[in-house]
Amino acid sequence: MKELKEGDKAPAIKAKNQKGETVELKDYLGKKVILYFYPKDNTPGCTTEACNFRDNYQSLLQDGYEVLGVSIDSEQSHQKFISKYELPFNLLADEDKKIVEDYGVWVEKNMYGRKYMGTARTTFVINEKGIIEHIIRKVDNKNASRQIRDLVK
Q: What is the rounded average pLDDT of the residues 1-28?
A: 94
Question: What pairs with residue 132 in β-bridges?
Answer: 126
Give the pLDDT band of residue 108 (cuts 50, 70, 90): very high
Residue 6's CB is within 10 A of a number of other CB atoms, namely: 11
The domain segmentation of the chain, as residue ranges, is 14-152
Which one-letter amino acid corresponds to residue 44? P
* pLDDT tens digits, 28-67: 999 999 999 999 999 999 999 999 999 999 999 999 999 9
Fold classification of 14-152 is Glutaredoxin (3.40.30)
Q: Is 111 a residue whose pLDDT tops 60?
A: yes
Question: What are phi and psi for residue 133, nearest 5 degrees?
Answer: -90, -40
Residue 146: name the closest of 16, 46, 34 by CA. Answer: 34
> What gap in Å lies between CA 65 and CA 53, rounded to an integer?
11
Q: Is 2 a residue whose pLDDT tops 70?
A: no
What rounded mean pLDDT belongs to the chain? 95
Q: Which residues are catalytic?
A: 46
Q: Is 92 a residue whose pLDDT tops 90?
A: yes
Q: What is the rounded average pLDDT of the residues 92-102?
A: 97
> What gap in Å lies between CA 118 and CA 137, rounded to an integer?
14
Q: What is the rounded average pLDDT of the residues 110-139?
A: 95
* pLDDT tens digits, 62-89: 999 999 999 999 999 999 999 999 999 9
Q: What is the rounded average pLDDT of the residues 106-121?
A: 93
pLDDT value of residue 1 = 54
Contact 33, 60 (CB under 8 A): no
